[in-house]
Structure 1
């Protein structure tokens, strides 16, 4: 699918914009599933000021969204109308400030965990188990291996839809399980996390144990999107999926991982429709067996391929 090119219109409204604009940019290479359609416009801001300029001048009728490393994202086959914002090098800085770490929203979680370990800051090792960037960890209260973003969070900086700059404390974030209550029209640009003193060698050893645990229990070297469904209260999503007989279940080029049943895998030629259909089939089977409605943790965005049916309701 090809969208109308809005590059000239946006450039005319935003003199002085320093970031890059790319029309009909492929999003499949930016998603860990390696599937899906293009973005009508992909914008990579140079820095926070550039992002603010863009947001303030973007016409209200143009939809937009932010993506990080694409590890928890399924882009539908028809692509994304409007603007997709991707935070790159200008948002990947990591600085140590005593027992705190200041990290850009585009910084990979694993790099933040390593910087903390090397500085002797304990408490951030769990980030090694989250295959994403800091912006996503903030938006979803990302967690793994006994830790959550809220546990070490101090503050976050964000740019509003009008280009204004905001500082959010813990109360303003309203963290809950895999959620935060910060307004959806805020784009996180950096965050500060704080840990406690520790020995670098011991913290790095803890990270290594997390690495080994992930490698042995999750399909980390495949085209996947991470945990597919949120754990219902008092339940494990993977166990519910397994008990519903879905381990190894395949639709088109998509499969429920035989290694970890809360992961969907692109076997090589899966469409986004294959993956979403598989996920909905799993939800139906779990509901039929246990009465539990699994909630998607993977974010599904965009339009179906031309001629395809409407996508399942986001749940």
Structure 2
């Protein structure tokens, strides 16, 4: 491995870092000291070594055999948010949705309240076009600063990211280190009221206090994924300690000792049942990474 100024850890367990609390280890976990440290590291790293960025691990299944290559986690140096003018914020790639929306509220910037409800970081929002409650990242992103797998730093306009529903064309191995979001002028009290409304709706409808991976399947055109899952009789369906949430059927849960293989296989059970019941083929929204263990199979 190239020399770094940050922290580079071999065989780092990833289960404690993801919401499901399951899965294997990273072959290497790199937490860069700053953007230059990240860029220098990637430039010197053998191009054949795979690279994956990890945010809060909220919409992720890490397979039990672990993740080969280098997993990059942006820590405190990248968890910053600062107003640029009356309606724009510069947000570090490691900043949470709560930090972004709260800073926007304090600055009187409306339109970013929906980020309060997405349990992830700016880097994940940009890559996956994260969204909720009728808005998505593509609606507010001006540009993103990324470090490519080659180590090159580049600024990409929102139009360059090929956004569609929960998808971008950001290259594999690229790491989002910052983004500029633009909202509208608003009153802090009204912004807080909207954030409170979103938080209450989320608390009422989602199993937030469970080991979960968030929204499991994308909504197919003309359908709600949760309704298709429910109609297929999957509410409460289990495989080992993996269960379809009874509160919100588009959430999978780890009841305690589920492996990632259990969770992923349960998701495939749900997809098969929905296809048989409705003819609709659900597409995973949760990202599944890594390799299967000797005792499990990857989908």
TM-score grouping bracket, smaller chain normalisation = over 0.9
Gapped regions of structure 2 (runs ≥ 5): none
- The offset of 1:181, in angstroms, is 1.7
**Alignment correspondent of 2:79:** 92
Q: Contact conserved, 1:118 with 1:204, CA < 8 A, in 2?
A: no
Gapped regions of structure 1 (runs ≥ 5): 1-9
Q: Which range moved further: 56-65 or 28-37? A: 56-65
User: Does 1:49 find its partner at 2:30?
Assistant: no
Q: Contact conserved, 1:224 with 1:264, CA < 8 A, in 2?
A: yes
Kindly provide the CA deviation profile for residues 3-61 of structure 1, in whole angstroms up to 9, marking residues without a partner as x: xxxxxxx1xx43xx201011110100000000001111100001110000110011122
- The offset of 1:162, in angstroms, is 1.7
- Taking the aligned partners of 1:275 and 1:186, their CA distance within structure 2 comes to 27
**Alignment correspondent of 1:64:** 51
Question: Which of 112, 126, 131 is the aligned partner of 1:124?
Answer: 112
Alignment of 1:283-298 (within 5 A): 283-298=271-286
Question: Which of 236, 241, 254 is the aligned partner of 1:253?
Answer: 241
- Taking the aligned partners of 1:183 and 1:303, their CA distance within structure 2 comes to 21
Question: Which of 209, 215, 220 is the aligned partner of 1:221?
Answer: 209
Residue 225 of structure 1 aligns to a residue in which SS? strand
Q: Contact conserved, 1:32 with 1:225, CA < 8 A, in 2?
A: yes
Q: Contact conserved, 1:230 with 1:297, CA < 8 A, in 2?
A: yes
- The offset of 1:97, in angstroms, is 1.5
**Alignment correspondent of 1:137:** 125
Question: Which of 262, 276, 279 is the aligned partner of 1:274?
Answer: 262
Question: Which of 243, 264, 270 is the aligned partner of 2:252?
Answer: 264
**Alignment correspondent of 1:26:** 13
**Alignment correspondent of 1:35:** 22
- The offset of 1:164, in angstroms, is 1.0
TM-score where L is the length of structure 1: 0.93
Residue 242 of structure 1 aligns to a residue in which SS? helix
- Taking the aligned partners of 1:220 and 1:34, their CA distance within structure 2 comes to 14
- Taking the aligned partners of 1:155 and 1:27, their CA distance within structure 2 comes to 30
Please tell me the root mean square deviation across aligned C-alpha atoms, in Å: 0.9
Residue 215 of structure 2 aligns to a residue in which SS? coil
Poorly superposed stretches of 4+, deviation over 3 Å: none
Aligned positions, number: 298
Question: Which of 278, 284, 287 is the aligned partner of 1:299?
Answer: 287
Residue 226 of structure 1 aligns to a residue in which SS? strand
User: Does 1:176 find its partner at 2:164?
Assistant: yes
- Taking the aligned partners of 1:93 and 1:178, their CA distance within structure 2 comes to 24
